Amino acid sequence: MTTNPFKVVTRLVEFPVKNAVNHEGHYIGEPEFAKTLVEKYGITRFELRTSKSQVCSIGFNEKTKTWYGWSHRAIRGFKTRAAAAAFAESVS
């Protein structure tokens, strides 16, 4: 019989954590990730994929009129918000 090489513990952590959020206060991710989305992809607007989503996974580049969808695995640009949202859901 193999024993589990780890255990799960719950700890209360009390220290400041920096997160990037959009103007409505919705979570984007770590600040460096948000900075990359702005600098590399030109995203100027971050949105939730659906009204029930808890993390922004689509965004819009105003300059190129491109919608982006992403997850922790991939990012891709599209002409429509619907296509970007479908992609974000497919890679989540």
11, part of any domain: no
How many domains is the chain partitioned into structurally? 1
- At 36 the pLDDT is 96
| Look-up of token digits 């780890």 | 6
Percentage above 90 pLDDT, the chain = 80
The answer as to whether 6 is a domain residue is no
Instruction: Summarize pLDDT for 30-80 with one digit per residue, the tens.
Output: 999 999 999 999 999 999 999 999 999 999 999 999 999 999 999 999 999
pLDDT of residue 4: 64
The domain in which residue 79 lies consists of 20-91
Mean of pLDDT over the chain: 93
Is 84 a member of any domain?
A: yes
For residue 2, pLDDT beyond 90: no
Q: How far is residue 68's CA from residue 84's CA, in Å, rounded to a whole number? A: 5
Please report whether residue 13 resides in a domain: no
